[in-house]
Structure formats: C-alpha cells, structure tokens
A and B are shown apart, each in its own frame.
Chain A
Amino acid sequence: MGNEEKILKKLEKIFQIIFDDYSLRLSKNMTAEDIEEWDSLNQIKIILACEKEFSVKLNVREINNFANIGEMVTHLSNLEANIE
C-alpha cells in the first residue's frame, strides 16, 4: 500500500468515528457535499482528529480551501514527509 493509500485508510477511520457510520467509504474525489452531516463543526472535529492522528498542526484556512479528499490526503502526506 502506498503512503497516500495508508493516509486515506486512516482518514476513513477518522470519518467513520466522527460520523458514527462504519459503512462510510472515502475516495479521493469525494467532497463535503457527498457526506450529509459534514458541516463546519464536524470539519473542526476532522481537523482536530487529523492533528492527533498524524501528529501535525494544520492550517485551518488551507484546509477549508481543499477541493476534495484527495487534496487533503496529498497535503497530509507532504506534511508527514516534512517531519521525517
């Protein structure tokens, strides 16, 4: 599994917990429109959970500008690479 796939899997787990839905599947071209409950408050939960899971600090403004999950995964992957 490539690094981005790993991150996507982890992200999926985070989403499943936040939206309490184990059948939720993430793909790179998904957007906030695809998940009914994805509002600004859940967005904050996602950000905080990612920070915890990936041990990074995220810039909220940047994240709000992402077009889809794929961009978020790439961003997280770049951040992780920088740490290592």
Chain B
Amino acid sequence: MPHMEMKFKYQMQKEDKNKAKNELAGYLKSSTYLDLKPEIAMQIAKRLVKNKQMLDNKLSNIKLSILSNFNLDFIKESIEFCLYQRGLNATIITCDYGTMITELINPKSQNYNFQPEYILIWPTYRDITKFDEGPRKEVSFWSSLWKISKKKNIKIFQVLFDKPPFLHIKDLNNKKNIDLCTHISYTNAELQKKYKNNISFISIEKLQIHIGSKEWHDQRVYNLCKQPFSLNAVPSISHFLSSNIAGMLGKYKKVLILDLDNTLWGGEIGDLGVDNIILNRETSEGESYINFQKYIKELHSAGVILAVCSKNNMRTAKEAFSKHPEMILKLDDIACFVANFNDKASNITYIKKFLNIDFDSFVFVDDSRIECEWVKNNIPDVSVVNLKGDPSYYINELDRHGFFTKEKITKEDKNRIKSYKAIREIEKIKKNNINLEAFLKSLNPILILESVSSFTIDRIEQLILKTNQFKLNNSIYDKKYIKNNKNNILAFRFKDKLNDYGIVVVLVYETSKEVLYIKNWVMSCRVFQRNIEFAIIQLIKKIAKIRSCKKIKLELVKLKKNKVAMEALKKMNAKESKVSSIYDINIDSNLKSDLIKIKNIKKVLENGK
C-alpha cells in the first residue's frame, strides 16, 4: 500500500516539526546558552533563525552589522540567539572574510547599504597594524575607521584586541622594544581612555582568560575555515558579546531577588538561631557566604536593586541582618523584604508590584531546585539561577550570566536605589495607619519646572519612551519635536528631603482657540503616591486660563499597563466625551487645597499672553 505509507511519513514529519518548535520555545525560555553542548547550542540557534518569523514576540528590533576579518558564519546565529534571549530581535549581517576595513571606509559598502543601527567591530591581534610605530599610531588608525559610521549616526561597539597565542616570540621588528602583548595592552587602554564617551568598548580579553587560550586560539579550525576559536567556544563567546550589547542597549537586569538560608548564609536560621548560622571567616563554608555577600554588595552599589524572598518568619529573617556581626548586606540595602511561608512565585509577584518593575528585569537566586523550578514555571519572564553545590562557586554561578552588565553606572542608578527607600517608608506608614498626608508633607516635596535644553532633552525623550504605567497613550515624541515645541512641553524635576529624583514627569500639550489639549503625559513609577499629578493638573488649569482656553481635553487610551494613569484621571474627575477615548477635565474645579509647590513656573504662565 504505497499510498498509505506516504501519508504516514508526511504526518511524522509534521509531528517532528511541532516537536522541534516546542523544543525551541523551551530552550529560549529557560536554558542557559552556556550550559548547552556546543553542537546543540548551534543547532538550536539555527532553528531560531529559521523559525523567527513564526514566533510571537514583543521584543525590540535592532539592525546589527558585525564586521571582522575572520569568518563569522559559525557564530552569527548563536549571537542572534543570545540577543533574542536578552530581549533583542536582531537582524544581523556579517561581512565577507577579510573585508572589515573596506566595509568601514567605503561609504557605499554592503555594510552601509544595510543601514545598520549598530556596528560591532571585531578585530583580533592579527589585525594589529602599527606594531612598529607604537600604540599611539595604532589608536589613531583604529579611531579613524569610525568616521563614516559616526557621520551616519550609527552606534559603534568596538571589541578590544585579544592577546596572541605565542609564548616566546619577542618580535624583533619592533623599534620601541615592547612585545606584541604589551603593545596590545597599551592600545586597548588608550582607546578606552580616549573614546569612552563616544564608543562602547567590549573588553574581550576577560573572556579569553576565562575560557582559556586553547579554545580561544584553535589553529586547526582557523586553517580549516578562518574562524580563530574552536567550536566549543562558540556558546561562551556569543553569550559574552550578547550580554555586553544587551547591557549597553538597556536590557540589563535591575533587580536581584535573594533567598536567605543556604544562599546568603549556611544552614537554616529558623532551626539554628541567628548565632549559629554559618557565616564566618573561620570555616571555608562560612567564608564562601561572606564572599558571595560581598559580591552582591558590589552589584548593589553599581545600582542593582536587592530584594529578599525567603521562607522564614519575618522577625527571625531580619534578625540576621540586624544582629549578625559578619553580615555584609544590611537591612538598608534591601528594597523589599519578604519573609513568610507563601509560595515564592506569589511573593515575587508582590515584589514586582511593590517595586513597580517588570518581571523581565528580575533575577531570582535560590539554592533549592524545587523553588527555582516553581518560579520558572509560574513566572517564565523571571531569570532564575539555581545555586548548587559548593557555595565557593556561587559568585561564578551568578556572575557568568552577565545579567547586570551595563555600560556605565550613572547618578540615576544610585538615586534609584535611594528612591526605593522612600517608597518603603511610605508603605510602612500606610500599614501602620499613620497619617500619610502629613508624612508626605513632612518630606518637603517640591516640583521644579525644567526647560527643554541640551541637558534635559535626552531624559525627556527617554521618559516618554520608557514609561509604561503612568502614560495617557502610546504617542511618542522625538528630540526634534521636543526641541521645536519646547514651549508646549512641561518637564518636572521632583525633590524631597530624601532625594533628588531628577526629571520624572513630562507633559506634552498644545493649545488651539478654545482648547488646551494634553497630547501625552508620563510620570515615572518611582514617584507614584506622592500626589504630584494633582499639583500638575492644577498648573495646567492655570495655563489654560491664561491662554484663554475654555476646555481641557486629553486622549486617554486603555493600554496593557497604564492602569495607574486611568485611575489617577478618574480621581481628577476626567469625563469621557462623545468621542471615545477623548476626555474632558473641568477647568474650574479644585481638587485639593494642599498641593505640592512648583518652582520656576513664572515663564510658562507669562508665555501665553
């Protein structure tokens, strides 16, 4: 029965295809690319690239061009996979073997025709060209290659040089009497020092050291196909590059959620008591936990928000932080402390609500496999690290993921941590039924109207782009619009006794004959619950009157995440008009008598006259 047989075969294939797709989804969600066998890693990456169109994703799209003088064909798909896992749907082109320099200096090259948003320039020690003339000449050669990309506003990721594999060659040609390794070190350092403000550098030497020269320099593979590293190294390298790129594009993780027992110290505090947990410099185990805490403390001072999620009772859990002399982490470092016997997925959901940060910015670490699996299954967007075995390796277990890699640590990062302290105070007061209004007032809050200028424009654009929860609709405004309409843009800085929060509110409006129309209004979640919106709407009413408007209108669209804005506008008595999603605000009503003061408004109130 040949006919029957054919049908059967076809069905098998279809089944295979479905199985393959499900498998891919599983790998994307919960696997660590580094832990896959290299051949499987490459297989899965290939499958992603083939099936991308069919996958349903909400990721950011980027166009990336990777330029090098060696063969990138084997690693390209893996980089694409790792970027995808970090929230970036990349379209990647690579250049042909040996064409890196011409691709960069020819304005009509394949690279520029592709119109990439980002270029990754990836030379190796083989591409050193000015060894004879010294590092300074080397630096000026490589920096000259950026000219066209800069002119075209393409962001550059420059991979710094790796080190050669030779142990004994001391190049005799060099007049400066330094060896190639030293020449490279100087060049790398000088490039970074001189251009750190314009170019994003990736220091790949760290990785070379980490994976070892044997895998980094595989001469046989190089001879076979002009790829300098072994196939075994492909997962580590693609993962490392992708973490760096993702970090530079803002896709780093923001929150680290910590288990306590056997994560921050050895043993169960509930059984042993605070005096007997294993956290000391006398035993290797105790020292491991101290070192792990030190590492976490460093992450924290680089802007990572810490939370605790532990199955303990609150009092016992906190005791370790307040009483144990060897604790490196203090209660003050923890933005949100949850200790109870609820399941951890629910607790992490609580932490998410409390911090107002999305799950995909969360990393959860726990020594218990069951807890880790539970969280993974219930909240797949949270990255989970299962710490296992000897606590001596905990640091490496967490560090190797590169979750928190970012380009720079800004003032904003440090402030962010402070502002969670304020949220915590507010939550405490709410719980204890103390007069919240009185407390908020005692913080001496003040809003300052900031004008659109070169100092503020980046932040204004970014806030409109990044805000999810308090925004009226999806309209966005680029720098050009902001500059041209600066008289119709209100940007507010918020300050109180605890902190200067920077620019946290932006409102874009326009006025016609009778109507002041609020085109969009965004506010950072860090300053929710501070009654800021009421002060601002009162100001808008004043502006409307001065500009002889009789009505205030705005477009409020129900989005996935902007419930906060919907509710706030309800409180301001916004009424939906006959046109759906257009709301009216009563120009004469007064909502609250005791409003936050706003500084610097003289000019905007004079403007309309």
| A binding-site residues for B, Cβ under 8 Å | 17-18, 20, 22-23, 41, 44-45, 47-49, 60
Answer yes or no: B224 CB below 8 A from chain A CBs: yes
Query: In the docked arrangement, what's the CA distance between A20 and B16, Å?
Result: 11
Answer yes or no: B43 CB below 8 A from chain A CBs: yes
User: Contact string, B221-245, partner A, CB cutoff 8 A, digits 1/0?
Assistant: 1001100000100000000000000
The reply to whether A22 and B20 contact each other, CB–CB distance below 8 Å, is: yes
Query: In the docked arrangement, what's the CA distance between A24 and B225, Å?
Result: 25
The reply to whether A45 and B231 contact each other, CB–CB distance below 8 Å, is: yes
Chain B interface size, as a band, is 10 to 19
The reply to whether B73 and A17 contact each other, CB–CB distance below 8 Å, is: no
Partner of B231, one of A17, A48, A60: A48
Partner of A41, one of B20, B47, B73: B73
Query: In the docked arrangement, what's the CA distance between A60 and B225, Å?
Result: 11
The reply to whether B39 and A18 contact each other, CB–CB distance below 8 Å, is: yes
B residues near A45, Cβ cutoff 8 Å: 42, 74, 231
Answer yes or no: B46 CB below 8 A from chain A CBs: yes
The reply to whether A20 and B224 contact each other, CB–CB distance below 8 Å, is: no
Work out how many contacts link A and B, with CB atoms closer than 8 A. 32
A residues near B167, Cβ cutoff 8 Å: none
Q: How far is the CB of B221 from chain A (nearest CB, A)?
A: 7
Query: In the docked arrangement, what's the CA distance between A49 and B20, Å?
Result: 21
B residues near A18, Cβ cutoff 8 Å: 39, 43
Partner of A49, one of B12, B19, B39, B46: B39
Query: In the docked arrangement, what's the CA distance between A23 and B11, Å?
Result: 11
Answer yes or no: B40 CB below 8 A from chain A CBs: yes
B40, closest chain A residue (CB)? A17
Partner of A47, one of B20, B39, B42, B224: B224
A residues near B74, Cβ cutoff 8 Å: 41, 45
Q: Which of B390-430 contact A (CB under 8 A)?
A: none
B224, closest chain A residue (CB)? A44
A residues near B16, Cβ cutoff 8 Å: 22-23
Q: How far is the CB of A54 from chain B (nearest CB, A)?
A: 14
The reply to whether A20 and B43 contact each other, CB–CB distance below 8 Å, is: yes
Q: Given contacts A41-B74, A47-B224, A48-B231, are A17 and B43 in contact (CB under 8 A)?
A: yes
Most buried by B among A17, A18, A48, A60: A48
A residues near B231, Cβ cutoff 8 Å: 45, 48
The reply to whether B20 and A20 contact each other, CB–CB distance below 8 Å, is: yes
| B binding-site residues for A, Cβ under 8 Å | 12-13, 16, 19-20, 39-40, 42-44, 46-47, 50, 73-74, 221, 224-225, 231
Apart from A23-B16, A48-B221, 10 more pairs, CB < 8 Å = A18-B43, A20-B46, A20-B47, A41-B225, A44-B221, A45-B74, A45-B231, A48-B224, A48-B231, A60-B224
The reply to whether A44 and B43 contact each other, CB–CB distance below 8 Å, is: no
A residues near B221, Cβ cutoff 8 Å: 44, 48
B218, closest chain A residue (CB)? A48
A residues near B73, Cβ cutoff 8 Å: 41
Query: In the docked arrangement, what's the CA distance between A18 and B16, Å?
Result: 16
A-B contact pairs, 23 of them (CB 8 A): A17-B39, A17-B40, A17-B43, A18-B39, A18-B43, A20-B20, A20-B43, A20-B46, A20-B50, A22-B19, A22-B20, A23-B13, A41-B73, A41-B74, A44-B221, A44-B224, A45-B42, A45-B74, A47-B224, A48-B224, A48-B231, A49-B39, A60-B224
Q: How far is the CB of A21 from chain B (nearest CB, A)?
A: 8
Query: In the docked arrangement, what's the CA distance between A29 and B27, Å?
Result: 35
B residues near A49, Cβ cutoff 8 Å: 39
B45, closest chain A residue (CB)? A20
Query: In the docked arrangement, what's the CA distance between A18 and B40, Å?
Result: 8
Query: In the docked arrangement, what's the CA distance between A70 and B221, Å?
Result: 25
Query: In the docked arrangement, what's the CA distance between A17 and B41, Å?
Result: 10
Query: In the docked arrangement, what's the CA distance between A20 and B40, Å?
Result: 9
Query: In the docked arrangement, what's the CA distance between A48 and B215, Å?
Result: 14
A51, closest chain B residue (CB)? B220
Q: How far is the CB of A43 from chain B (nearest CB, A)?
A: 9
Query: In the docked arrangement, what's the CA distance between A35 and B221, Å?
Result: 23
Q: How far is the CB of A63 from chain B (nearest CB, A)?
A: 11
Query: In the docked arrangement, what's the CA distance between A44 and B227, Å?
Result: 11
Query: In the docked arrangement, what's the CA distance between A18 and B42, Å?
Result: 8
Q: How far is the CB of A16 from chain B (nearest CB, A)?
A: 9
Q: How far is the CB of A20 from chain B (nearest CB, A)?
A: 5
Q: How far is the CB of A70 from chain B (nearest CB, A)?
A: 24
B residues near A48, Cβ cutoff 8 Å: 221, 224, 231
Q: How far is the CB of B20 from chain A (nearest CB, A)?
A: 7
B residues near A20, Cβ cutoff 8 Å: 20, 43-44, 46-47, 50
B residues near A23, Cβ cutoff 8 Å: 12-13, 16
- A-B complex: 6 closest residue pairs judged by Cβ atoms: A44-B225, A17-B43, A20-B43, A20-B46, A20-B47, A22-B16
Query: In the docked arrangement, what's the CA distance between A60 and B223, Å?
Result: 11
Query: In the docked arrangement, what's the CA distance between A41 and B13, Å?
Result: 26
Q: How far is the CB of A27 from chain B (nearest CB, A)?
A: 15
B223, closest chain A residue (CB)? A60
Query: In the docked arrangement, what's the CA distance between A45 and B225, Å?
Result: 10
Query: In the docked arrangement, what's the CA distance between A75 and B300, Å?
Result: 58
